[in-house]
Structure 1
């Protein structure tokens, strides 16, 4: 090529490179947008959990986008419905990764659904962030692409058993559990906490996921006459179980872990829910002494305020902080590295990860349902 033509060719190439928008090779990242995927129950008996998680995450993303996004890119949340069914969760996850080309997965809901979706994310090396589950397989062994924000079911069940045994002297503790990996995860925690106190599970009854038929399970527990029942399932199931137990004349206390979805349970159970103890992994969404709660209340409509949407809001906050730390040319590996080094305080809610510990918080708070409200308590009465 003659020198004059060569110079012209180089000048045109340089000009075009300046005029063209920067395009990163990482899926889900363009010059002005980052796509984040979410699959959870937007329909079915657990839909309140998925809807509330979406509300909290989207509320914080909206706040961030209003101020220019992250390094000039807006955050786009792509949500798909799995109805709290593992096969659907797997299929929707495949779609998000292979068709929608999302950068990361955030805010899945459930243990069985996470068990179905996680291998897909791991194979594709897509970050699987802050699922609404306390299951151990998400925590042990530590996985490069998996980060949990909430306390584990081991943490929650230890609190429940400790309070039942120490505060009330209860020793006959039964399980009414979903017959799947969620039920088994919580059962493992209950069994371990009881074993530490030289106790065992007094009785066990199982229910099908998404089923509201409690008759046979409640009948089995009535025969065992427990003093307390640890329930493992969704909010509509717990409401149905309590009403069936009351009809059957069972007087045992019902206790459950945070997955229940507190506000949805209160709405479903009505007065029958009074007296139920629930462990929480987030502070009260009404505790305005915390700056993060004040900010959350300013961004979320009153009708959507609750523990689950607050968890989604804090999840999104932690994600954004890590994304900012990943730099102006974010990659999935840079995001994972930023998360494992993250040691921060989210306006009053401390979060700490490390290379050997991908669970950001172990905080557990005990609440008791009374007159349609979840009241924080220090001990059981």
Structure 2
């Protein structure tokens, strides 16, 4: 398949970039390079973190929410004196979800701001593009807002992620709907991008492992707006559950096309990338499933006092309710603070890496667990299954994996 060949070439390209970055640093993929032992971004008075993220493009809902919550957490810490006497400075650069802008932003963060880490940048292709540059300069890529496998594979000492991987989520989805829901005919509709192909590969691999085959596949460009022919093709294949490698706009258009066609009795299943209230707000979104790493909150949900204080403070600061992006951003910033504390007063890139790896039993304020280790840089290994019911996301199952 041409798409699968293209995906393999993309993976090789990323691996080559990482290799070249490691060569320039004089290290390998199992140890932090000599240049990474530097104290870049660190002075007696501050430590500089940065992010190249989407604040104005198609995934700005993620970039803005995560950045706002991260700033909120860092402001809390700075108000109490910082970490080991250092204030945390968080430099934010907008990419508009465009690779050229991401490269320019990363270049500024690395060479002018001299950040010690790129913290929570949005987007698989953007992270893929800038990681070689980061690693060549010994800069960590911490907790990207992306579920792409390249965020942790191939292993690199400067890569860490706090969220689930799309490939794992879709494999968990296939396994769950076959074993628990009795489904037997999977299909896939996906964007013809590295993200979408990862969804296709996860569905294919899990189906094959269970003795099934993908009955039908439909690929589209992110800019496509007409899906009637694609839905008809899937319907004629008698799909009874469909894995979706889509984001917000195309998810809504696909579900609306299926609704207008009157196609019922089929399960539509997404992942972290489509888990947003804008999907739940659509009439066609009713019944839609998503496998995610943490479930969003609503104002009338029962919350612990700590979470309620966080919720109210976020609204006070930003004038809107916090969504999943804000939850992820706050947790990522809190993990960064914990790592800075564990790294000690003599902060270097190497000590920061070891500090993140030492976080082995962390539970965030929302009740979700994350753990790392010297050979485990992917913090979340289980998924939460949610479904849209009456215009809101409802959690159905916790701790699902394949």
Could you say which TM-score interval applies, normalised by the shorter chain? 0.7 to 0.9
**Offset from partner CA, 1:164-214 (integer Å, 9 cap, x none):** 212322222111112111112222221222122111222111222355454
- Is 1:266 the counterpart of 2:288 in the alignment? no
Corresponding residue number in structure 1 for 2:116 = 103
- The more displaced of 181-190 and 311-320 is 181-190
Give the superposition deviation at 1:295. Answer: 5.4
Q: Work out whether 1:234 is the aligned partner of 2:261.
A: no
Q: What's the CA shift for 1:33?
A: 2.3
Give per-residue Cα distances to partners, 1:34-70, cap 9 Å, x unaligned.
2211122212322212112212212211221221211
How much does 1:219 deviate?
4.5
**Alignment partner of 1:74 is 2:74:** no
Matching of residue 277 in structure 1 with residue 317 in structure 2: no
Is residue 2:344 matched to residue 1:330?
no
Contact 1:33 1:74 in 2 (8 A): yes
- Quickly say closer, same or farther: Cα 1:144–1:370, change in 2 above 3 A: same
SS of the residue corresponding to residue 397 of structure 2 reads: coil
Q: Distance in 2 between matches of 1:292 and 1:194?
A: 42
> Residue by residue, what CA displacement relative to the aligned partner does 1:206-257 show, whole Å, maximum 9, x if unpaired?
2223554545544543443422221112212211221122223433321101
1:130-209 counterparts in 2 under 5 A?
A: 130-209=143-222
- Report how many aligned residue pairs link the two structures: 354
Q: Is the Cα contact below 8 Å between 1:296 and 1:310 reproduced in 2?
A: no
Worse-superposed segment, 286-295 or 309-318: 286-295
Judge conservation of contact 2:199–2:244 (CA < 8 Å) in 1. no
Structure 1 gaps of 5+ residues are 1-23
Question: What is the SS of the residue equivalent to 2:189?
Answer: strand
Within 5 A, what are the aligned runs for 1:360-375? 360-375=379-394
CA contact (8 A) 1:281 1:364 kept: yes
Partner SS, residue 357 of structure 1: coil
Quote the Cα distance in structure 2 between the aligned partners of 1:90 and 1:171: 44
Partner of 1:351: 370
CA contact (8 A) 1:45 1:236 kept: no
1:253 matched to which residue of 2?
267
- Shift in Å at residue 294 of structure 1? 4.4
Larger Rg: 1
Question: What's the CA shift string for 1:88-143, capped at 9, x where partnerless?
Answer: 32232122212222221011122222211211111111000111222222223321
Normalising by structure 1, what TM-score? 0.85
Unaligned runs of at least 5 residues, structure 2:
1-36
User: What is the distance in 2 between the residues matched to 1:212 and 1:310?
Assistant: 31
Give the structure 1 partner of residue 359 of structure 2: 342
Alignment of 1:203-218 (within 5 A): 203-209=216-222, 211-218=224-231
CA distance in 2, matches of 1:65, 1:87: 33
Q: Is the 8 A contact 1:52 1:304 kept in 2?
A: no
Stretch moving more, 189-198 or 217-226: 217-226
Give TM-score scaled by structure 2 length.
Answer: 0.81
CA distance in 2, matches of 1:40, 1:238: 22
CA distance in 2, matches of 1:104, 1:358: 15
Alpha-carbon contact 1:150-1:359 (below 8 Å) kept: yes
Q: RMSD between aligned alpha carbons?
A: 2.4
1:129 aligns with 2:146: no
Secondary structure at the counterpart of residue 211 of structure 2: coil
Aligned partner of residue 75 in structure 1, secondary structure: strand
Structure 1 25/226 Cα, relative in aligned 2: closer, same or farther at 3 Å?
closer
Shift of residue 263 of structure 1? 2.4
Paired with 2:48 and 2:191, the residues of 1 have a C-alpha distance of 33
Match of residue 10 from structure 2 = none
Partners of 2:334 and 2:127 lie apart in 1 by: 21
Measured at CA, do residues 66 and 255 of structure 1 come closer, stay the same or move farther in structure 2, by a change above 3 Å?
Answer: same
- 8 Å contact kept, 2:384–2:395: yes
